A = this chain, B = another copy of it.
Amino acid sequence: MRDVFIAGIGSTVFGKHPERSLRDLGREACRAALDDCGIERAAITAGYCGNALAPALQGETTVGQNVFWEVGLAGIPVINTENACASGSTALHLGWQAVTAGFHDAVIVAGVEKSVMPKGTPLKIGMAELETQLGDIFPGFFALIAQKHMEQYGTTVEQLAQVSVKNHFNGTLNPYAQFQKPLTVEEVLASPMIADPITLYSCCPNSDGAAALVICDAATAKSLSTPAVRPAVRVAASVLTTGTYDAGRDITGWVAEERCATLAYEQAGLGPQDMDLIEVHDAFTISEIVHYEGLGLCPKGEGSRLISDGTTALNGATPVNPSGGLLSKGHPVGASGVAQIVEIVEQLRGTAGKRQVEGARVGLAQIMGGGKDTDVRASTIHVLRRE
């Protein structure tokens, strides 16, 4: 299997874009990624697009074809993937497989989504199961996780709020973030209660946006002479797992995520202690704390310590979500997994501006799809390394 490099990155600003189409957002991100590395259109021989909600919300299918045509990438095989919040990272995983196995030398990977909906529209993911119809929607389920984590491990509402404060602070340093406003613990706690203990500012927003990558083999990466692709960023691990249907499980963790982390560290030949920065799927404040544990940054139950003692702050030992995360940067569902990679590449290149993690050489991105009614439906982890 061949080494795979992230050559080009691109992203739109995340936020509310009611006037823009999926194609319009996708075009901006893809064009940016192509321009970023200066690759010729003809060198891109396949396209992978992650999207979760366009068929349901916009009545649009074959989204990848629609987007890639917009940037002149026509006549290449296009794969559309859906894996809930991990749709974009699944597209990357497939693109990585294709390049590492030698089916293609260079491919484009995009994540696009318009998930801002009229107020009151329920967001349905996964089966339209009975529990959902009875009100067990995402904020409710993550509130249960938070309650359980507080009861079992002593995590406090203040610690949960600190996650939002940290990520919103980071977001103020990211021009691509949906929210550019710092928050205090008091403000997070005083915001409207959604599902105790989850308040409004403990939830990521619905967002519109797109992100894109050009990935390629070593020879192609070498042939690209633009300064942006120096230093080269290599994909050290790409892993996708799905959980089991296990209603009796401990809801304060996801078995499939822990397995995914083990496999990713093995593939990369690295451990959690080697990560200079991490982007995790902070759909809710409690999610980030559970992911600390799932990724092995600390023993089970001790996640809240990492937020309290500043370990995961931008100037901490292991900054988590320097981009602002989903909480502040926003969460255009199918785009988020690709946007995490854009952030890590910026950091490894040393071009992350005011939120730069000094000397970053290795970064990890974790995102998952589903995980409410069962163990997680899709867990992906990518480890990137500056060569």
Contact = CB atoms under 8 A, between A and B. Distances in A.
A99 to B, nearest CB: 11
A377 B62 contact: yes
Interface string A252-282: 0000100100000000000000000000000
A255 to B, nearest CB: 8
A275 B102 CA distance: 29
Contacts of A374: 69
B82 A61 contact: yes
A242 B66 CA distance: 11
A30 interface: no
A379 to B, nearest CB: 9
Contact of A245 (B74, B101, B127, B128): B74
A242 to B, nearest CB: 5
Interface residues of A, number: 50
A77 to B, nearest CB: 4
Interface stretch (A8-16, A90-98, A154-162, A338-346): A90-98
A82 B78 CA distance: 10
Interface in A201-245: 240-245
B61 A56 contact: yes
A192 interface: no
Q: Which of A52, A59, A74, A77: most chain B CB closer than 10 A? A: A77
A55 interface: yes
Given A77-B241, A94-B94, A83 B60 contact: no
A240 to B, nearest CB: 4
A94 B82 contact: no
A360 interface: no
The binding surface of chain A is classed by DSSP as: loop
Contacts of A256: 75
Nearest to A126: B62
A81 interface: yes
Contacts of A60: 126-128
* Copies of this chain per assembly: 2
B377 A65 contact: yes
Contact of A101 (B69, B90, B101, B369): B101
Nearest to A21: B127
Nearest to A260: B77
A243 B47 CA distance: 13
A164 interface: no
A79 interface: yes
A104 to B, nearest CB: 10
B53 A55 contact: yes
A378 interface: yes
Contact of A242 (B59, B76, B128, B243): B76
A124 interface: yes
Contact of A66 (B62, B97, B126): B126
A343 to B, nearest CB: 24
A83 B77 CA distance: 11
A84 interface: yes
Given A244-B74, A256-B75, A59 B128 contact: yes
Among all A-B residue pairs, the 7 with the closest Cβ atoms: A101-B101, A74-B244, A55-B55, A55-B56, A77-B240, A80-B82, A65-B377
Interface of A: 23, 47, 52-53, 55-56, 58-62, 65-66, 69, 74-84, 90, 94, 97-98, 101-103, 124-128, 240-245, 256, 259, 369-370, 374, 377-378
Given A62-B82, A75-B241, A94-B94, 8 more contacts: A55-B55, A62-B377, A65-B242, A74-B243, A77-B241, A78-B83, A80-B81, A101-B103
